[in-house]
Structure 1
Amino acid sequence: MMFVRQTSSAWLRLASRPIRMAATDIPHPAKKQRTVGSKIIGTHNGTFHCDEALAVYMLRLTDAYRDADLKRTRDPGILDTCDIVVDVGAVYDESNQRFDHHQRGFEEVFGHGFATKLSSAGLIYKHFGKEIISNQLQLTPDDTRVEKLWLKLYREFIEALDGIDNGISQYADDIQPKYRNRTDLSSRVGWLNPAWNEPFDSRVVDAQFLKASQLAGEEFLGRLNYYGRSWLPARDLVFDALSRRANVDSSGRIILFDQYAPWKACPVFLSSVDGRLTAKQEHLFELEQELAVPPHAQPFYVVYPDEAANNWRIQAVPVSAESFESRRALPEPWRGVRDEVLSRLTGIEGCIFVHASGFIGGNKTKDGALEMAKTALDL
């Protein structure tokens, strides 16, 4: 699970607040009476999955269902008393607040270019996601950032849960993976169910469902917090640097970041920290498309400060987000050479290294890194 260091106390209180079960579902010596006017979320009892666990959590991030109780049952009569029902009931009808996806003929997708059939998590996110995002990040509903984050979080987080729950293969062809991965969120939720040969106690399973919902919800909020407070602000930095790159070099082929934000990547151009494409790299490709930057004006190199060693880096931009190939790698004679030998070879003081693949290099100073980039353009 990803945790974000900069999380407000309000966020922590929200993420740690338990989801209340309705008193009628779990027998208890001191029965709690339903609060007059409070709403009830309904979902099925028994074995649970990640999609409805997250759907319930997300609903309690909305204004309408923030204080709602929860009933886990398959009894149609009881479900009819609920204000909203998810993942059970064989009905998808927004007007009646019914959000199941198991019925024959259900083929609802998120839209906006996404073609994966929705689970209950995707359904709730599709209809309530923008409200949740605006509430959590304190943005107005019409803020353009809300829609951008809504689409981003579906692509990076929710869609996989929809695919897994609906049994949709991640591969276009019948290709056997080289290894199994059972550490995804859906798997972690699944492991909270009792084993087949353990006694089935509905009270225990209901309690485990609450753990599953909390697990899925905290991960959802952590991801939303990251995208809203880190990924999206990086977009402004990239837009600014891309817009003023002609001031760095008249060719427009060099981008300069004076402020550190993650750009450094391993040779496959993924973040060396957690496997994500770094925010700045991702925004660069998207902004180039949005601004219609022609190929002859697209940047080759990015110069930025190294956050740890007070040095500067020069990195070649890959041809695409998934590519191993650089648009223009650093010159071949520089590759694999270090320190004074590299400085003598380039005629540039302060050189530290150039990677053997030519995708990244380093210099002790900003001016030195910029000079490496400009020299590389001419070779």
Structure 2
Amino acid sequence: MLLAATHSGSFHADDVFAFAILKAATDGAVSLTRSREAAVWDAAQVVFDVGGIFNPAAGRYDHHMRDKPLRDSGEPFSSAGLIWRDYGRAAIVHVQPQATPGQIDTVWAKLDQGLLRDIDLMDNGVMDRHPGHFSALLETWNPSFVETDSDENAAYYQAVTVAEAVLARSIAHAFAAAVAQDGVAEAAAQADDPRIIVLESRLPWEEAVFDLNLTQALYVIRPAGKDWTVSAVPPERGSFAQKKPLPDAWGGLREQELASVCGVADATFCHSARFVCGAKTREGALAMAVLAAGVA
């Protein structure tokens, strides 16, 4: 059983989430004491968000000092980010035991640069605070001044339960992204033409193309039910544009009309915005992608 300690009193998202991470990392084999007593902290194996010391070797994870711990980017850690740094991978192993070492690293990085970084920045006042942010919502579990009969510790553990659920779902989605990334990487390695990536299942590819820095990729082919689609890769993450739109002559055409124009007998459609087209077979979709890539 891991003995942990943090401060009593009102809580923030970082000390709530730090304990949720420790629970996941130890598969629940952790006991927490919330106290302002130094003797309690000294008796614990892990102390977070309190104590004025950052020393991972000694199990101390505070971040409120003048010389506070910083990320490589220069952005400040909170206790959540610090605990995630050292215990996050163990948490992932327990939540997604089927993850490979490489996938664990990918999941860890996605959460570190997303959810955990936002919690860190919000706690340190570096990010603008707004009511809809996860950190602000989690902190509404603190009893309000009119709730005079509320149990502060009970409220803290209720917030931890919410944080545990968010952590588990965040890991699950990041794991799915890591699996998709592995699939895209394998397909890219096997591609005859680096401009055209062919996926044999309907993997989500958008993030993976940029995470893997597949700068030459123009089109991604994958199945869609019984048919196949060709999607144009955007020039940057999150963009609605395309590096190379599908041919202008194809835009908005369907079935026989499209087949007559592009020369692919089983072509089924091309969106008027020219970011996706389709064919009934893998071979037809590949032929359309090859034609599109070769259009000047």
Give TM-score, length-normalised by structure 1.
0.70
| Residue 40 (1) aligns with residue 8 (2) | no
Aligned match for 1:164, one of 115, 122, 139: 122
Q: Of Structure 1 and Structure 2, which has the larger fraction of its residues in helix?
A: 2
Contact 1:351 1:363 in 2 (8 A): yes
**Is the 1:101–1:120 contact (alpha carbons within 8 Å) kept by the matching residues of 2?**
yes
What is the CA deviation profile of residues 186-217 of structure 1, one whole-angstrom value per residue up to 9, with x for unaligned ones?
1221121222333153xx22111111111112
Using the aligned pairs only, state the percent identity.
Answer: 28
Pairing 1:362–2:287 present: no
User: Structure 2-normalised TM-score?
Assistant: 0.88
1:80: which partner in 2? Answer: 42
Counterparts of 2:51 and 2:286, CA distance in 1: 62
Among 13, 32, 41, which residue is 1:50 paired with? 13
Partner SS state of residue 43, structure 2: coil
| Per-residue CA distance 1:261-315 (angstroms, 9 max, x = gap) | 23xxxxxxxxxxxxxxxxx2222233346xxxxx6xx2321111114xx221111
2:30 to 50, 68, 74: 68
Distance 1:315 1:100, change over 3 A: same
Residue pair 2:25, 2:92 contacting (<8 A) in 1 also: no
Contact 1:42 1:84 in 2 (8 A): yes
Instruction: Output the amino acid matched with 2:64.
Output: H
The correspondence for 2:185, drawn from 213, 236, 239, is 239
- The equivalent residue for 1:133 is 92
On the 8 A contact 1:301/1:316 being kept in 2, the answer is: yes
CA distance, structure 1, for counterparts of residue 265 and residue 125 of structure 2: 57
Structure 2 counterpart SS, 1:223? helix
- 8 Å contact from structure 2 (residues 220, 233) kept in 1: yes
Deviation at 1:100, TM superposition (A): 1.3
* Corresponding residue number in structure 2 for 1:191: 140
1:346-368 deviations in Å (ceiling 9; x for gaps): 23333333222211112233232
1:253 aligns with 2:215: no
Per the alignment, do residues 169 and 238 of structure 1 end up closer, same or farther by CA in structure 2, a change over 3 Å counting? same
Distance (Å, rounded) in 2 between the aligned partners of 1:56 and 1:78: 16
Contact 1:52 1:87 in 2 (8 A): yes
Q: Which residue of 1 aligns with 2:222?
A: 304
Q: Distance in 2 between matches of 1:256 and 1:231?
A: 17
Say whether the 8 Å CA contact 1:90–1:102 is kept in structure 2: yes
Looking at structure 1, the residues matched to 227 and 74 of structure 2 have their Cα atoms a distance apart, in angstroms, of: 45
Rounded to whole Å, the distance in 2 between the matches of 1:126 and 1:79 is: 21
Cα pair 1:110 1:122 within 8 Å, conserved: no
| CA RMSD across the alignment | 2.6
Shift of residue 140, structure 1, vs aligned partner: 9.9
Distance 2:45 2:195 in 1: 57
Aligned residue type for 1:56: F
Question: Could you tell me which residue of structure 2 aligns to residue 110 of structure 1?
Answer: 71
Q: How far, CA to CA, are the matches of 1:48 and 1:237 in structure 2?
A: 41
Partner of 2:211: 286
Asked if 1:216 is matched to 2:179, the reply is no
Is the 1:185–1:216 contact (alpha carbons within 8 Å) kept by the matching residues of 2? Answer: no
Equivalent-residue separation in structure 2 for 1:147 and 1:252 (angstroms): 26
